[in-house]
Each structure stands twice: as structure tokens, then as C-alpha cells.
Amino acid sequence: MTSFTAPELKENDMPETLLDPSRTALLVMDYQHMVLGSTPGSDELLANTRSAIETVREVGGRIGYVRLGLTDDDYDAIPQTNLALSAIGRDRFVHDEESGTDIHDHVAPEDEDIVVRKTRVGAFSTTDLDARLRGQGVDTIVLAGLHTSGVILSTVRDAADRDYRVVLLADCIADPDTEVHDLLMTKLLPRQAHVSESAELRSLFPSA
């Protein structure tokens, strides 16, 4: 039997080519009141993400928002086999109508932005986000999200399998567990995503 050796994955710090704004979307994920309330440094995260939003609007890119919010039917559809969400279903937590699930006003969407409601951890599996991005010609996504071990991890892995180019804004991403955050951001996620920061974002696009 022939053995298989997986190719070594290269860690990425910066995109090899500049981003095309017409094919790029910034996704602001789980920037909701109740999530920010459990995240250290939320004021700085909001400021950094607001800056990133302004940059992408300035260069002509698209903005998308992903929020977690469940209805009564969604709760009933969660099986006990789902370890991450079964407790949420039992306690009726993060209900879609709760104000705590609203996107924070400081980074709120505008009329032309994409907004999707999810019922699982990742941004794609329970939404039409992929179809909406593809329909607008997007093949590159820039991610700001909470938390690193939740929506960021799930979305990066899924997006890579869908062949998106992925850029992470390190100063727009956080996790209550700083050790897990550091491990993911320095060891795992750079294998499938470029890592940048909000202050460097403008330099990733062509000059006007």
C-alpha cells in the first residue's frame, strides 16, 4: 500500500497580490451586543472594525454582516448530538427577537450591505451568504469576528474549502480565552488565511 504524505501548509502574512475591491467583501461577524459584552477590549475592537468598514467602503468593496439569532423553530431543530448548541436550544438563549442579538450601533449596516442571520457557528452553513457573495462577484473575504474559536475558526475553514481568498484582521478578532486565541491566530489560521490589521488594510488595495 502506498503511503500518503500531506503537503506542508505555508503560513501567510500578506496577500501575494493586491486585493481587487470589486471582488472583495469585509464580513463583520457576531459583532452583537451580547457577544461584545463577554469579550475583553470591546471598545478597541469596535473602533478597529469601524475603521476597517470605512476603508472598504472608501475603496469600493462590499460589506457583509453575520449575526446569530434563533427562533423557536430553530431551537426545536437543534439535536442533542450538537454539543455546542444543545444548551442554547434548551435555555432558549440568543433569541432572534432579543435586543442583545442586534448588531452593535457603532458598526451597524447600511441599506446596501449584505446581512444574514445564522443558526449555527459558521457564517455559511445555515445562510445564503455564499450565493449572495458569488452573485456579486466576490472571491476574497476579509474577516472581523467574535470569537476566534467560534465564528472565525468555522468560517475560515469553510471559506477555504469554498476556494475564497481569506484575510484576517487580527485587531478585529478576539476570544475570551486568550491562549486559544493566540494559538489559532499564530499556528492554525495563518495556514489558510492571510493575517493583517485594520491599519494596514488600505495598503492591500491598489492606490487610487
The β-bridge partners of 32 are 103
Q: Within a domain: residue 13?
A: no
Whether the CB-CB separation of 54 and 169 falls below 8 Å is answered with no
Residue 129 phi/psi, 5-degree rounding, is: -60, -45
Q: What percent of the chain is predicted at pLDDT more than 90?
A: 84
**CATH number, domain containing residue 60:** 3.40.50.850
Instruction: Count how many domains the chain has.
Output: 1
CB atoms inside a 10 Å sphere around CB 81: 6
Contacts of 143 (CB under 8 A, 6+ apart): 26, 27, 29, 152, 155, 156, 166, 167, 168, 169, 172, 173, 193
pLDDT tens digits, one per residue of 151-206? 999 999 999 999 999 999 999 999 999 999 999 999 999 999 999 999 999 999 99
Q: Within a domain: residue 123?
A: yes
Q: Is the pLDDT of residue 26 over 90?
A: yes
Q: Within a domain: residue 3?
A: no
Q: Within a domain: residue 135?
A: yes
Q: Which domain holds residue 52?
A: 21-204
pLDDT of residue 184: 98
Q: Within a domain: residue 35?
A: yes
Q: Within a domain: residue 5?
A: no
- Does the pTM surpass 0.75? The reply is yes
Compute the distance between CA of residue 174 and CA of residue 47 in angstroms, rounded to an integer: 13
Q: Within a domain: residue 70?
A: yes
pLDDT of residue 77: 92
